[in-house]
Amino acid sequence: MNLVILVAAIAPVVLIFGLGYLAGKYKDFDHDQAIGFSHFALKYALPVALFLSMASFKRDLLLQQGPLVVVMIIGYSLFFGVSYLVLCMMTRDRLTAVLLGYAVSSTAAPIYGLTVLDPIYGDTVGGGVVGLAAVVTNLLQVSVVIYLLESASRSETSRPSLARTLGKTIKNPLVWAPVLGTIVSLSGLTMPPVSVSVLKPLAVCAPGAAIFACGLALASYSLNLRSRTVILGSLVCVVLQPAVFFVALKAWGLKSAMAKAAFVASAMPTSTPSALFAQQYGKCEVETASIMLLTTLGMVVVIPATVAICEWI
């Protein structure tokens, strides 16, 4: 892989994330402004970008991605389930097990993916993988995580309904926007040029805005990069999880550009909601925020390594 392409893929993430972190540390944005910025990025700009990516995806190519979706379910959702059970067996309380299990199994691919994958694999493949990852992780992982968090923090009589939790998850723009785009693609319809022109300015700013919002949010957390939990959790996130993807892709015999891009996406940092969940429930805040920072910095090494390993897929 050309070094210039790798730099073009990784450098913007590190730079924009760093600027957001510094902006947060120097109080350029107050708490309400930071929340508003995150809402703009995650509820408006990024969903529009995912919708356009999936809507412009070729129907025939999309219909071939069933096995890849299964691999993502194994690599994200099933991996979370195993992580959660292992942490429970290590005498961790359930709330801690959910939070740390999600921290090591979640992915920032829906946020960082467009910036990292597009220069390497092109808009169609990069956008397709990001859209599929957004649907799988939000629909089949986040909904279960929210249910388990609520269950662990409440009494038996006040535990939430899984169906209700799933319903709330479906209302998330990061879920229904790529799903809607997928429906458009599968229908064989073509987006009118005027519609694309209207939405594209918002979609173009989405990756930068989302990455900046991540750095901005992280600045409000305490960090401990020397913790054994943080170091092991980061290694699980960027080494063990990609290894699971590699084995699944090899076992299924998937060798397409989409498969390789999905493998690279599996090595991306833990997602921002992992730190937000920890803050909301008042537990593991330092650990999840530190894992988020360490895995983001680790992209400088991990992404080029996964791109090189793709030669064996």
What CATH number is attached to the domain comprising 28?
1.20.1530.20
pLDDT at 157 over 60: no
**Domain of 32, in residue numbers:** 1-310
pTM over 0.75: yes
- What is the rounded CA–CA span in Å between residue 112 and residue 100? 21
- More reliable by pLDDT, 3 or 82: 82
pLDDT at 149 over 70: yes
pLDDT at 158 over 70: no
pLDDT at residue 174, rounded to an integer: 82
Number of domains in the chain: 1
